[in-house]
Structure 1
Amino acid sequence: MPTDKQRIVVVGGGGAGSLLARSLSSKIDITKQSLTLVTARPFNVYLPGQCRTTVSDQGSLEKKTLFPYDRLFHNGKGTIRIATAKAIERNASTVGGAVVLEGGESIGYDVLVLAPGSVWEGPLAYPNDPEGVESHLSIWRTNFAESTHIVLAGGGAVGIEFAGEIKDIWPHKKVTIVHGNSALLNDTYPAKYRALLERQLLARGVEILYNDFVEEIPLPGPASITTRRGMQFDDALIVPTRGGRPNTDFIRSCLPNLLNDTGQIRVRPTLQTLDYPDIFAIGDCTDWNEQKQIGKYYSHVSVCAANVIGYLRQVKTMKVYKGSYEMIVITNGQNGGASYFGILWGFIFGNWVSKVLKSKHLLIGLSRRNVGL
């Protein structure tokens, strides 16, 4: 049906997309604009809670860490569309276009915001349908419980946090991290902080194999593998903890000029894409040179929401995203962890501060409130 309203479409209902949709719903004039959130799942997977959620059923955390969209929009000023975006079509002679959904239906837009997030492996690769969630959790929880040796393929934040959660429940279970670097995490973080994380893991009996890689990940269940450098693991559960990759394949098929070589969306400081001022991008999918973390989303949303409204109003001056200092809190179970704040000369904190900031509660309550729950 034809409409005179300016159409805002957000693709991706994860951490960044849901925060942006909520923010925009507080800013739009529903007599002049419409807002649609296109998301493949009827729930938002709160990623910082998933290492604990998928390892065991203690606390039934899936009831708290899979956020419904019931109360996302302020005063109901928005529409949720549960569907998978398959392509973007541009109008031939004007700005705007349409998002093509799986099945062929199109949703027109005057402004499009891309927040598709990342594609994950293993326990973090939740199915889109609610019926599949119970089976997914059951498979992984059973495998974590029954395995005598767990190999975590990746020593970034995900691998470290999985190791801590496993050791909380099964202190004597054998856990090995295989990491391709010579220290945990990456070179963004100072050696002192990375060494603290290592000491905390070793103190809990976690073994760490550096400068090596798990090339292929078998299906969940006991398996035997050989690493790139020849280390063999037999009858072990191999868990991919290597982080996600940009969920942008649907963009490459239609607007490949939006992406860099690694699949990230190229953006200006206004968070508009390089070639299309009516297409914005936020979250982990952007090519901004920073560590990809939920903490960055709030700054992305502040800039993007203001600029979307500004673009529709044809303002001349847009807000600029300047990045932020690096900070991270990595849990080591419910009572431990290590924190780094990259301001001034850098501050590092250990178990007590990390427990208060994140480890005990995983910021679940705050994050639920931020999406209206």
Structure 2
Amino acid sequence: MSTKTYRIVVVGGGSGGAMAAKQIAAKLPSGSITLINPLPFIVVRPTLARMTVSANNDLLETAMIPYDKLFSGPNGTFVQGVVHEIKPAKSKKGGVVVLEDGKEIQYDILVLAPGSHWDGPLDIPDEDAETFVKEQRAKFSKASKIVLVGGGSVSIEFAGEIKDEWPNKEVTIVHNGASLLNDTYTDRFRKSLDASLRVRGVNLILNDYVDEIPTDGSAVQTRNGHTVEADLVVATKGPRPRTGFVAKSLGESAVDSRGQIKVEPTFQLPGHPTIFAIGDAINAVEQKQAAKAGTHAGIVAANVVALVSGSKLKEYKGSTEMILITNGRNGGRAYFGFLWGLVFGDWFARTLKSKTLMVPMSRSALGY
């Protein structure tokens, strides 16, 4: 098939999907690339803790970045919409994507980057995101005793932002592990995070669970019998893959038991050589992070070109685990999984992420 008529559709405009669409459009200037996303802008997700806690920033204006400058040439198009169904051709070469409004978009190659469903303040709605953010800010401002359920990076970053804004508010994290995060990371790193929050007055309840999150400002009851007074309880657990339409369209065998899309090392779906998937929603055995989605995007862009030209496709070999977690505007911790596991502290985190939350870099990547 000629590249002049190739139609590439990318579903999902997060860090992986947007970069995949941009790179494919640059590599295949004679192709037709369509990016579909429910929102008309990308949300820079590392900003959400600060954006939804505090009004003392410009993140509503700078961290929701439109797609209007994503494509440098005329071969890229953005369509706002929610994908309802995929209809592969019987030959499994190409097919049609159906949106919730009934619109159909044909594809020769499809890239799925649907991302995840989140809870609480991270659950940015498809409509009126600004109102939602302002409502979250009002909840945090009004509360005096806040419980964060889950002890991953999201919870840590929320705790840091709350303490920056209101040092005297009572903040408690309930986590099911012996230290924050999970055992992907070394005990040394995890314990350093514990200590960095405790020194700011954050209470940690470890090796415990909250089975039911109250919505009426009542106390939290943990599985191990703790009662924690709260007037705001925030779910900060990990996300769930946004893949219902994939299982519905391609069959339950297309996803694993956690709802993650099954992929080959080339990011192709088994049995569907013209469908790729990347980002949080795939079953790669690794921590789900925006940086990894960006790496996926580069490989998929190269593989789309290879598929068009009949060349050999690249395989993803995985990524070294690393993470950079903020603790407010001036602190945080970083981990790099080299050697024995390298740990860096406040100065490193502040310089690379905490001050700007990588907004300038994200804007530049989208053409701003």
Provide the TM-score with structure 1 as the length reference.
0.95
Q: Are residue 149 (structure 1) and residue 137 (structure 2) matched?
A: no
For residues 218 and 145 of structure 1, the distance between their equivalents in structure 2, rounded to whole angstroms, comes to 19
Q: Are residue 210 (structure 1) and residue 206 (structure 2) matched?
A: yes
For the Cα contact (< 8 Å) 1:147–1:222, is it kept in 2? no
Map 1:117-196; keep pairs closer than 5 Å.
Answer: 117-129=115-127, 132-196=128-192
**What SS is found at the alignment partner of 1:212?**
coil
Match of 2:360 in 1: 365
Q: What percent identity do the matched residue pairs reach?
A: 46
Counterpart of 2:359, as a letter, is I
The Cα shift of 1:218 comes to 3.8
For the Cα contact (< 8 Å) 1:299–1:321, is it kept in 2? no
The Cα shift of 1:169 comes to 0.8
For the Cα contact (< 8 Å) 1:15–1:294, is it kept in 2? yes
Counterpart of 1:137, as a letter, is V
For the Cα contact (< 8 Å) 2:268–2:276, is it kept in 1? yes
The Cα shift of 1:103 comes to 2.4
Number of residue-to-residue matches in the alignment: 365
Gaps of 5+ in 2: none
Provide the TM-score with structure 2 as the length reference.
0.96
Gaps of 5+ in 1: none
Q: Are residue 233 (structure 1) and residue 228 (structure 2) matched?
A: yes
Q: Which moved more, 1:272-281 or 1:191-200?
A: 272-281
**What SS is found at the alignment partner of 1:155?**
coil
The Cα shift of 1:94 comes to 4.7
Q: Are residue 309 (structure 1) and residue 309 (structure 2) matched?
A: no
Counterpart of 2:29, as a letter, is D
Alignment counterpart, residue 91 of structure 1, candidates 89, 92, 100? 89
Alignment counterpart, residue 300 of structure 1, candidates 296, 306, 321? 296
For the Cα contact (< 8 Å) 2:92–2:274, is it kept in 1? no
* Runs of 4+ more than 4 Å apart: none
Match of 2:10 in 1: 10
For residues 92 and 206 of structure 2, the distance between their equivalents in structure 1, rounded to whole angstroms, comes to 53
Counterpart of 2:43, as a letter, is V
Alignment counterpart, residue 257 of structure 1, candidates 228, 253, 257? 253
Q: Are residue 284 (structure 1) and residue 284 (structure 2) matched?
A: no
For residues 4 and 351 of structure 2, the distance between their equivalents in structure 1, rounded to whole angstroms, comes to 50
Counterpart of 1:358, as a letter, is K
For residues 92 and 182 of structure 2, the distance between their equivalents in structure 1, rounded to whole angstroms, comes to 44
Counterpart of 2:200, as a letter, is R
For residues 67 and 4 of structure 2, the distance between their equivalents in structure 1, rounded to whole angstroms, comes to 27
For residues 94 and 253 of structure 1, the distance between their equivalents in structure 2, rounded to whole angstroms, comes to 16
**What SS is found at the alignment partner of 1:80?**
strand
CA deviations on 1:244-291 (whole Å, 9 max, x unpaired) are: 110101111121222111011111111111221100011111111111
Alignment counterpart, residue 112 of structure 1, candidates 105, 110, 113? 110
Match of 2:35 in 1: 37
For the Cα contact (< 8 Å) 1:258–1:275, is it kept in 2? no
CA deviations on 1:48-79 (whole Å, 9 max, x unpaired) are: 01111110111121111111111011223211
**What SS is found at the alignment partner of 1:51?**
helix
For the Cα contact (< 8 Å) 2:243–2:260, is it kept in 1? yes
The Cα shift of 1:186 comes to 0.3
Match of 1:66 in 2: 64
For the Cα contact (< 8 Å) 1:155–1:184, is it kept in 2? yes
For residues 333 and 75 of structure 2, the distance between their equivalents in structure 1, rounded to whole angstroms, comes to 40
Q: Are residue 22 (structure 1) and residue 17 (structure 2) matched?
A: no
Q: Against the structure 1 CA distance between its residues 341 and 93, is the aligned structure 2 distance closer, same or farther, given a 3 Å change threshold?
A: closer
For residues 156 and 38 of structure 1, the distance between their equivalents in structure 2, rounded to whole angstroms, comes to 30
For residues 235 and 191 of structure 1, the distance between their equivalents in structure 2, rounded to whole angstroms, comes to 30
The Cα shift of 1:363 comes to 1.0
